[in-house]
Amino acid sequence: MIIPDEFARKFRGSYCLVTGGAGFIGSNLATILLELGAQVCVLDNLLTGKRENLPDHPNLQLVEEDLAGYEGLGQLVEGSNYIFHLAAMVGNLKSIEQPELDARTNVMGSVRLYNACRKTSSLVKLVYSSSSAMFGEAASIPIDEGHRQTPESFYALSKMTGEHYAMLAHALWEVPTVCLRYFNVYGMPMERNEYTGVISIFFDRLQEQQALTIYGDGEQYRDFIYVTDILQANLRAAAIGNPGRVFNIGTGNRTTIRSLAEAMIDITGHVVPIEYQGFRPGEVRRSVADIDRARRELHFEPRFGLHAGLDEMWQEIRRDT
């Protein structure tokens, strides 16, 4: 990933706290921060994150604790220059099944973190990983930051609530927060569970030469963004994002689930049938980001098209097997 020198200098020698840093996006972010010369502390309960996702590095500290209940949180926050808040219970279906756990993790965990930051004079920026799920079914496409928020799952609601707390923490306590609303992120390491993203599921099934299952008619579409571009957005938000601002982070391009399946079959060379089942609850039909604000204020520009990102991901999967 190309990082401008003026950004890299901001992180060199800094102390960075990454909540949820052993997970998919968090581990990638922790790794790039270490490469930029930062001291990195990862706070993760390892329920979904994995220790092996993190590099063996002298400047990395792993604290295996739960953000929503860890009594030593204030000590971790004290002295932090940059905090990247990714700890969350992810998944629309999972949140419908376990709403209390979803709220505890995504809402109370966030509130505790913001409260701990109230008197942290060293803090330059806190970047909150929010979600486009809060928009619900789109009234207009592409979706800009001012689009109405009509969450259709408890996960979407809890991420929206965490974002609102972040904005109030900035307004009332002067916690320098910036919020990034991710659209559909993919990349390595893949999370393998029943709630993982469609791309990870499809790659797993393609490896096993099994049919790809699409829920609905396949014409629903998403804005898929490669994890490397998510890292770029986080670093730019921390380096130059104005506190109190919210940004959509996607590519601005739409991909139907049917065309995604076809592209992945083409990339892997594994020809399998595509099967269709009924729509699942809590999932929207249309989602594409308007990223004009991120382009203007963060100078953010996605560098990976879908085919390039999928191909890089597939090559890494093949190296690991």
How much is the pLDDT for 152? Answer: 86
Residue 184, token pair as written in the block? 């559909």
For residue 257, give the amino acid letter: I
Q: Which fold has domain 10-185+226-252+292-303?
A: Rossmann fold (3.40.50)
DSSP, collapsed to helix, strand or coil, labels residue 77 as helix
Look up the pTM and report it: 0.94
Mean pLDDT per 10-residue segment, the chain (321 residues): 70 97 96 96 95 97 96 94 93 78 92 94 96 92 96 91 98 98 92 70 94 94 96 96 97 96 96 92 84 97 95 92 71
Phi-psi region of 68 (alpha: psi -120 to 50; beta: other; left: phi over 0): alpha
How much is the pLDDT for 249? Answer: 98
Q: Active-site residue among 15, 70, 155, 186?
A: 155
The number of angstroms, rounded, from the C-alpha of 20 to the middle of its chain's C-alpha atoms is 10
CB atoms within 10 A of CB 34: 19
How much is the pLDDT for 196? Answer: 58
Residue 314, token pair as written in the block? 């597939």
Sheet arrangement for strand 245-249 = 60-63, 39-43, 15-19, 82-85, 125-131, 177-182, 245-249
Active site residue 155: yes
How much is the pLDDT for 270? Answer: 96
Helix runs in 208-305, H state only: 227-240, 257-268, 292-298
